[in-house]
């Protein structure tokens, strides 16, 4: 009898421990507001079972998280500017129920993420705003071949964002912050140039999916897509900026994806005045897509070379040439696309530079000057830049570059290029007149 009582006590203790172990603690909640969606991220002590559903009259979203306990205050999520009026919490059985009172309709999607080197278990709730569909419909490509002159549109993409910080440098320097600052400066320079308009893929600290970035660029009728990043490596000695375009293998795989999915009619090719592959036979669809991608890749390489040359004028380059890879954000068949790695944020020396506002502006100007020079050489039809070039105008404010050879001095280079010594120093951020053979100098516009 004594043995039976002891066995029952042990069984009861083990059962209660199992119940406790099965309860997941909601340790933190983070909110990220984007123009067209809201992301809520729940930090968990362990994986959970959950359910999401919508209710009407009044409009609200319900999230049930089973076998969980709420260990955080949800009243300070900073959601005042979004469609969520309030967040209510309560118990539901052995779990937690969150009710989001809404001002407008949303389309919810949820998924869980496994731990990584920065976060533990996470439950992600994405709320796509219904109004974004209306905006997208209004931005569908429109043929303008017979219309008035238009601006050249450059989509500037700051990598990562929100829950995804990107690479981390010394003193918690985050890639997502550095590249957003550079992207905003690139956009500012472009917007200040007559005949151009910049569109930021993300303007704040929120996440945009890789395919979502290129889709947004297409809906904006972008003439160029520029993605800004900062590299990282385990070896902290790795250094150097780089410029990338889509590889041949990446282009082939993307062509296959587009041809396989063309029947859904969701994708268009051809940029402004786009055409759908939906109603084309296999041969015609393949020819159209190949023509579009060939033109896009050619333009991508041209602008990438200019940007690479400009950055090489003041920064160490990882390779002396434009590199190729199958990055998803470079896979728009109809939009010339480049990716700029501004340096290795994992390298203490380069991280210190990337942290500086002056260096961020210098990097942004190198990208901007490359874009401007490219489109002056090959302006799209029916644009203000193309019309201006036809009048015989010259590219105003276009900087040139010069590679130092043996026997050169800074004063001789200044005289030879018709600029003052002070202008040459300022353009290259030189404190003195010392230069080295092989150095690429920026020659400011006279």
Whether 111 and 207 share a structural domain: no
pLDDT, residue 132, reads 56
> Which CATH number covers residue 418?
3.10.350.10
- Residues 80-87: contacts with CB within 8 Å, 24+ apart? 81/33, 82/33, 82/38, 83/38, 83/127, 83/129, 84/38
β strands within 159-299, DSSP E: 196-200, 224-231, 242-246, 268-269, 275-276
Inside any domain, residue 28: yes
Whether 47 and 144 share a structural domain: no
Whether 34 and 169 share a structural domain: no
The model's pTM is 0.70
Instruction: Report CA-CA distances (Å) from 40 to 24, 32, 37, 120, 271.
Output: 17, 6, 10, 15, 34
pLDDT, residue 263, reads 41
What does the alpha-carbon distance between residue 214 and residue 133 come to, in Å, rounded to a whole number? Answer: 16
pLDDT, residue 297, reads 81
Whether 149 and 240 share a structural domain: yes
Inside any domain, residue 379: yes
Whether 86 and 183 share a structural domain: no
Whether 180 and 205 share a structural domain: yes
pLDDT, residue 9, reads 52
Buried b (16+ CB within 10 A) or exposed e, 331-366: bbbbbbbbbbbbbbbbbeebbebbbeeebbbbbbbb
pLDDT, residue 397, reads 59
Whether 237 and 262 share a structural domain: yes
Whether 374 and 411 share a structural domain: no
Q: What percent of the chain has pLDDT over 70?
A: 78
β strands within 211-356, DSSP E: 224-231, 242-246, 268-269, 275-276, 323-325, 337-344
What does the alpha-carbon distance between residue 394 and residue 289 come to, in Å, rounded to a whole number? Answer: 35
Whether 354 and 404 share a structural domain: no
What does the alpha-carbon distance between residue 409 and residue 417 come to, in Å, rounded to a whole number? Answer: 12
pLDDT, residue 196, reads 96
Of 90, 127, 120, the closest CA to residue 105 belongs to 127
Which strand (E) or helix (H) includes residue 21? helix 2-22
If phi > 0 it is left, if psi is from -120 to 50 it is alpha, else beta; for residue 162 that is left
pLDDT tens, residue by residue, 253-290: 655 555 455 444 445 444 444 555 555 556 655 655 55
Whether 78 and 203 share a structural domain: no
Inside any domain, residue 321: yes
| Token couple for 273 | 């005045």
Buried b (16+ CB within 10 A) or exposed e, 65-94: bbbbebeeebeebebeebbbeebeeeeeee
391 three-state secondary structure: coil
Q: Work out whether strand 196-200 and strand 152-158 pair parallel, antiparallel, or are unpaired.
A: parallel
The answer to whether 334 touches 292, Cβ cutoff 8 Å, is yes
Whether 185 and 91 share a structural domain: no
- Which residue range forms the structural domain that includes residue 338? 139-390
The answer to whether 343 touches 266, Cβ cutoff 8 Å, is no
pLDDT tens, residue by residue, 329-379: 887 777 899 999 999 999 999 999 999 999 999 999 999 999 999 999 889
What does the alpha-carbon distance between residue 339 and residue 343 come to, in Å, rounded to a whole number? Answer: 12
Whether 104 and 176 share a structural domain: no
Final residue belonging to a domain, choices 82, 99, 134: 134
pLDDT, residue 421, reads 86
How big is the chain, counted in residues? 446
> Which CATH number covers residue 258?
3.40.630.40
268 three-state secondary structure: strand
pLDDT, residue 141, reads 44
Average pLDDT of the chain to the nearest whole number: 81
> Which CATH number covers residue 116?
2.60.40.3500
| Token couple for 82 | 């979004």
Q: Which residues of the chain have pLDDT under 50?
A: 4, 14-21, 133-141, 143-146, 259, 262-266, 268-273
Instruction: Report CA-CA distances (Å) from 308 to 316, 319, 321, 405, 435.
Output: 11, 10, 7, 20, 20
């Amino acid at each position: 009898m004594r043995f039976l009582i002891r066995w029952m006590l042990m069984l009861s203790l083990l059962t209660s421990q199992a119940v406790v172990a099965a309860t997941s603690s909601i340790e933190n909640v983070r909110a990220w507001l984007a123009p067209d969606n809201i992301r809520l991220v729940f930090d968990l002590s362990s994986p959970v079972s959950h359910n999401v559903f919508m209710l009407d009259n009044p409009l609200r979203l319900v999230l049930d998280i089973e076998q969980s306990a709420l260990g955080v205050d949800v009243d300070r999520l900073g959601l005042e500017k979004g469609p969520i009026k309030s967040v209510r919490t309560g118990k539901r059985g052995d779990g937690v129920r969150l009710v989001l009172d809404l001002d407008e309709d949303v389309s919810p999607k949820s998924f869980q993420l496994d731990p990584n080197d920065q976060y533990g278990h996470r439950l992600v709730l994405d709320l796509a705003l219904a109004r974004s569909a209306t905006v997208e419909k209004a931005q569908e490509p429109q043929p303008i071949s017979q219309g008035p002159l238009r601006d050249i549109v450059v989509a500037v993409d700051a990598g990562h964002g929100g829950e995804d910080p990107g690479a981390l440098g010394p003193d918690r320097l985050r890639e997502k912050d550095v590249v957003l600052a550079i992207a905003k400066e690139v956009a500012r320079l472009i917007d200040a140039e007559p005949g151009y308009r910049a569109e930021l893929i993300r303007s704040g600290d929120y996440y945009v999916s890789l395919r979502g970035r290129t889709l947004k660029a297409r809906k904006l009728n972008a003439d160029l897509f520029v993605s800004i990043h900062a590299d990282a490596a385990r070896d902290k000695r790795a250094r150097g900026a780089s410029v990338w375009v889509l590889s041949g293998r990446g282009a082939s795989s993307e062509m296959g994806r587009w041809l396989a999915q063309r029947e859904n009619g969701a994708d268009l090719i051809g940029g402004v005045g786009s055409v759908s592959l939906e109603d084309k036979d296999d041969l015609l669809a393949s020819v159209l897509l190949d023509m579009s991608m060939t033109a896009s890749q050619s333009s991508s390489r041209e602008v990438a070379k200019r940007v690479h040359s400009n950055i090489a004028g003041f920064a160490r380059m990882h390779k002396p040439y434009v590199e190729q890879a199958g990055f998803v954000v470079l896979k728009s068949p109809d939009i010339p696309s480049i990716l700029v790695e501004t340096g290795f944020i994992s390298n203490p020396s380069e991280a210190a530079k990337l942290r500086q506002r002056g260096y961020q502006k210098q990097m942004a100007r190198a990208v901007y000057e490359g874009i401007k020079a490219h489109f002056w050489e090959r302006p799209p039809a029916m644009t203000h830049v193309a019309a201006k070039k036809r009048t015989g105008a010259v590219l105003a404010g276009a900087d040139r570059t010069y590679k130092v050879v043996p026997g050169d001095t800074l004063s001789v280079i200044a005289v030879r290029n018709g600029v003052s010594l002070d202008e040459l120093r300022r353009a290259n951020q030189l404190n003195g007149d010392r230069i080295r053979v092989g150095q690429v100098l920026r020659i400011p516009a006279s």
